[in-house]
Amino acid sequence: MKYKPHQVLDCRKLSCPMPVLKTKNTISKMATGEILEMIATDPGSVKDIQSWANHAGQELLETVHEDGCYRFLIRKLK
C-alpha cells in the first residue's frame, strides 16, 4: 500500500450493509484529508465501497485483495 492510514477499521466477517455503515460512521469522525483503511471479507464490499465513496464525495485511493481480505484506503474529502 502506498498510503499510510490514520485509522484502521476491521469489518472482517461482517456482511452487507455493515462494512459501508461502519465506514461511513468512522469517516464522519475523522478530519478532512485523513485516510481510513477498512478491511473486509465480504466480496460485495468492493462494489459497495466504490459506490458509497462516489456518492459521499470521498476519495477511494486504493483497493487491494490479499489473503482473503479486501483492503480499502479512503481519503476524507469533506
Domain range spanning residue 67? 7-75
Note whether residue 2 is domain-resident.
no
- Is 52 a residue whose pLDDT tops 90? yes
State the Cα–Cα distance between residues 59 and 51, nearest whole angstrom: 11
pLDDT tens by residue, 7-42: 999 999 999 899 999 999 999 999 999 999 999 999
Q: Does residue 48 form part of some domain?
A: yes
Q: Is the pLDDT of residue 67 over 80?
A: yes
Write down the pTM of the prediction.
0.93
Q: Which residues are catalytic?
A: 16
3 band by pLDDT with thresholds 50, 70 and 90: confident
Overall domain count for the chain: 1
68 φ/ψ sector (left φ>0, alpha ψ -120 to 50, else beta): left
Q: Does the residue 31 lie in any domain? A: yes
Q: What is the pLDDT of residue 1?
A: 61
**CATH code, domain with 19:** 3.30.110.40
Q: Give the residue among 31, 43, 29 at the shortest CA–CA distance from 72.
A: 43
